Amino acid sequence: MTVLATAALLFVGLVVWMHPRLTTAIDRHLALSHLEPRRPSPARAPSRAAVARAPRLRVSTVDHIDGLLRDIRSGAHPRDAVARVVHASLTDHVDPGMMSSLESAPLPDLLPMCAAWADAAGREAAREMFVLLGGCLVEGAFIPASIEHARSLLRTREMLLGELRTATTQAALTGRILATLPFGALAVMAMVSPGMRATLVSGAAVAILTVGVVVNRIGSRWTRVLVRRALGSPVDPAVLLTEHVAVSLRAGRGIVESLCAAHGISPEVARVSIALGRGHRLEDALADLPRTSASMRLEHTLLAAHRDGLPIASTVHQLVTDAHDARRQSIESALRRLPVRLAFPTVLCTLPSFLLITLAPMLLTALGNVAPAI
């Protein structure tokens, strides 16, 4: 009777946990808490100890660009404006001795240095921000219209990343629930059944539980890796180059000058910049880019404009819009493939671990109760 009551309780708990309304509510709560950082209530100021213990709120690159734009429009020196952005975005990741080099580095070299620091610190968003800001700098001065365009591009990137994180929250939450449920069920059974507690200390139960825990951890790790891969899908370097060229053209640069200024985006783009710096033809230099749809469209547009001498700022901006639409479609397709991929760790690891951790001890307990009677 105790085993039947425990099984019924586990079934009810499983139905409640896996109900769509509950998972949707938890998904919404996690997504909002991730996208909207909490602020202290104005009615009650936090203590100094609470402030010291509280983690620093992550500020987006769009906020840094907004601050830089305000400083530039208020008449601040470009070096001072960049220094504020660096201190706000890289203070926790860069050695203080390296931060002091801001006072001596020339401004054209400062932004590539900041991009390299951000890359070494693993701050991909900050690195791309400094690379885009390098395209906004012309003869030691920032062009506000170009900075506004860079801010728009960064905002679109963050929106796409936010959509991806929100969509993968449900998959990550489901994986955590399925990985934790067997241990909760085992704890409940151990509390309500003395026979179960006696069975758990036997050698057979310990061996089965060990295998179940190992399989469970493998499935949980497998699920996290799949979700992390969906979140960290690489961006085509040609798309980043298109964005940088659009920002540089908005700043008044030419095609070749814009490509030469984009050397910090990726090794492929760096080879294009080096080839142009050595005097190679534009079509030969662009041949070093990976053969993707985005790179071929950009190459065709740049070569046609360079050959005919036509303005291409609006055309490149349309290429950026098309690239963002393609990125959104690739994210949607990746999210559609994610449930299919998650079925493998669920079927091969999570479900067998549930059987080993919950049902196997129940069967051992039942057999132990039947054996004396026989």
Residue 346: inside a domain: yes
Band the pLDDT of 73: cuts 50, 70, 90: confident
Name the nearest CA neighbour of 238 among 208, 209, 265.
Answer: 265
Full residue range of the structural domain in which residue 350 is found = 149-374
If one counts every other C-beta atom within 10 angstroms of the C-beta of residue 43, the result is 5
If one counts every other C-beta atom within 10 angstroms of the C-beta of residue 212, the result is 23
Residue 279: inside a domain: yes
DSSP reduced 3-state for 164: helix
**Same-domain check for residues 95 and 229:** no
**Same-domain check for residues 307 and 283:** yes
Mean pLDDT of the chain: 75
Residue 14: inside a domain: no
**Same-domain check for residues 124 and 249:** no
CA angle, residues 300, 302, 308, in degrees to nearest 5: 100
What percent of the chain shows pLDDT beyond 90? 1
Predicted local distance difference test score (pLDDT) of residue 50: 41
Residue 247: inside a domain: yes
Predicted local distance difference test score (pLDDT) of residue 269: 82
Band the pLDDT of 36: cuts 50, 70, 90: very low
Within the chain, strands assigned E span 137-138, 141-142
**Same-domain check for residues 180 and 316:** yes
Domain tally, the chain: 2
Residue 10: inside a domain: no
Q: Across residues 206-235, what is the average pLDDT?
A: 84
Residue 4: inside a domain: no
Predicted local distance difference test score (pLDDT) of residue 26: 61
Q: 81 with 72: CB under 8 angstroms?
A: yes
Predicted local distance difference test score (pLDDT) of residue 49: 44
Predicted local distance difference test score (pLDDT) of residue 328: 77
Asked which of 142, 175, 194 is the last residue of a domain, the reply is 142
Task: Please determine, for residue 342, whether its predicted confidence score (pLDDT) is greater than 60.
Answer: yes
Interval 226-284: pLDDT, tens: 888 877 666 777 788 888 888 888 888 888 888 887 777 778 888 888 888 888 888 88
**Same-domain check for residues 347 and 374:** yes
**Same-domain check for residues 319 and 347:** yes
Beta-bridge partners for 142? 137
**Same-domain check for residues 161 and 287:** yes
Predicted local distance difference test score (pLDDT) of residue 103: 56
Task: Please determine, for residue 120, whether its predicted confidence score (pLDDT) is greater than 70.
Answer: yes
Residue 248: inside a domain: yes
Beta-bridge partners for 138? 141
**Same-domain check for residues 70 and 156:** no
Q: Across residues 120-135, what is the average pLDDT?
A: 80
Distances (CA, A) of 108 to 179, 189, 213, 234: 51, 67, 55, 28
Residue 363's identity, in one-letter code, is: L
**Same-domain check for residues 204 and 226:** yes
Q: Across residues 73-102, what is the average pLDDT?
A: 72
First to last CA, the chain: 18
CA angle, residues 242, 243, 247, in degrees to nearest 5: 115
Interval 149-166: pLDDT, tens: 888 888 888 887 777 777
Predicted local distance difference test score (pLDDT) of residue 369: 67
Residue 18: inside a domain: no
**Same-domain check for residues 127 and 166:** no
**Same-domain check for residues 216 and 344:** yes
DSSP 8-state secondary structure symbol assigned to residue 350: I
Asked which of 142, 167, 199 is the last residue of a domain, the reply is 142
Q: Is 289 left (phi over 0), alpha (psi -120 to 50) or beta?
A: beta
Q: Across residues 305-327, what is the average pLDDT?
A: 76
Asked which of 142, 166, 189 is the last residue of a domain, the reply is 142
Distances (CA, A) of 179 to 73, 212, 214, 365: 53, 11, 11, 23
**Same-domain check for residues 154 and 77:** no
Predicted local distance difference test score (pLDDT) of residue 370: 61
